[in-house]
Amino acid sequence: MTTDLSHESERDDRSDRRRKVRALLAGGLVLGVGAAVTLAAWTDNVFGQAEFSASNWNIQGNFTGSDWAEYDTAEDAGTFDFSPGFGDLAPDDLVTAPLSLRVGDGDGGDFDANVILQGAQLPASSPLSAFLQYSVYIDVPRAACVPDGDRTGGTRIVSDAPLDTPGSPFRLLADGTVVDLCFEVYFQPQEGAAASAGTTTGPVVWQFAATAVE
């Protein structure tokens, strides 16, 4: 019997190749599983935190000469301390009221304030208001804010205008420097003024709108 050595060699070669392929596949599977386990095991975190605070800034008003407050809503408006006669006006009368403003609560704040006096908010029906006009000065000492006082050196931000006229802007300093203002309200004498006799304006509310500035 003759043995075909070439066929046996081919079978051995095929068997060797199959063993190598199975070994490589097995190695690949082991490597794949090992890599997945390794990636899942590595985790890490970094956390960061901060706490934020606002700068100190607000403006306050003083209507009495001694009491400072924020008066920051129309419902919480301060009451002007007008000179005698404001509740019993006659044509050609002039009444005055001082007001002081500042940034902060006495220690200043972090920013200056750009301030604009808004025109007065008036009741829908106010017969007397049409006969009244007002002026506002800044940098007038409280002692000079009387009907016969000297407003020399003060700067007008409103000049003989209807009550709902806005004023020119001015600045309050961040260091808390007090700015004194003087309101004048004048009852104009004119024909037909008798129509306002015995009437009232109702609440007249002015707003000082302030914006923080560098």
Cα–Cα dist 163/12, whole Å = 114
Please list the ranges in the chain whose pLDDT falls under 70.
1-40, 191-193
Distance CA 182, CA 137 (A): 5
What pLDDT is stored for residue 69 in this prediction?
97
Q: What is the pLDDT of residue 127?
A: 81
Among residues 81, 197, 29, the alpha carbon closest in space to that of 128 is found at 197
- How far CA 138 is from CA of 68, 69, 125, 159, 167, in Å, comes to 18, 19, 30, 12, 11
Residue 204 to residues 12, 124, 200, Cα–Cα distance (Å): 112, 11, 10
Q: Which stretches does DSSP call E strand in 83-168?
A: 94-103, 112-117, 132-138, 155-162
Exposure string for 199-214, b = 16+ CB within 10 A, e = fewer: eebeebebbbebebee
Residue 143, phi then psi, degrees to nearest 5: -65, -25
What phi and psi, each to the nearest 5 degrees, are found at residue 51? -125, 125
Amino acid at residue number 56: N
pLDDT tens for 152-211 read 999 999 999 999 999 999 999 999 999 999 999 999 987 666 778 888 999 999 999 999
pLDDT at position 48 is 96
Q: What pLDDT score does 210 carry?
A: 97
Q: What is the pLDDT of residue 196?
A: 82
What is the pLDDT, as a whole number, of residue 23?
54
Instruction: Check if CATH label 1.25.40 holds for domain 59-213.
Output: no
Please list the residues that pair with 138 across neighbouring strands. Answer: 155, 181
Q: What is the rounded CA–CA span in Å between residue 27 and residue 164?
A: 91
In degrees, rounded to 5, the angle at the alpha carbon of residue 75 between the alpha carbons of residues 126 and 122 is 15
pLDDT of residue 209: 98
Residue 85's SS3 state is: coil
* Per-residue confidence (pLDDT) for residue 10, from 0 to 100: 58
Q: Measured over all CA atoms, what is the biggest interatomic distance in the chain, rounded to whole angstroms?
A: 151
Residue among 112, 122, 110, 104 at smallest CA distance from 201: 122
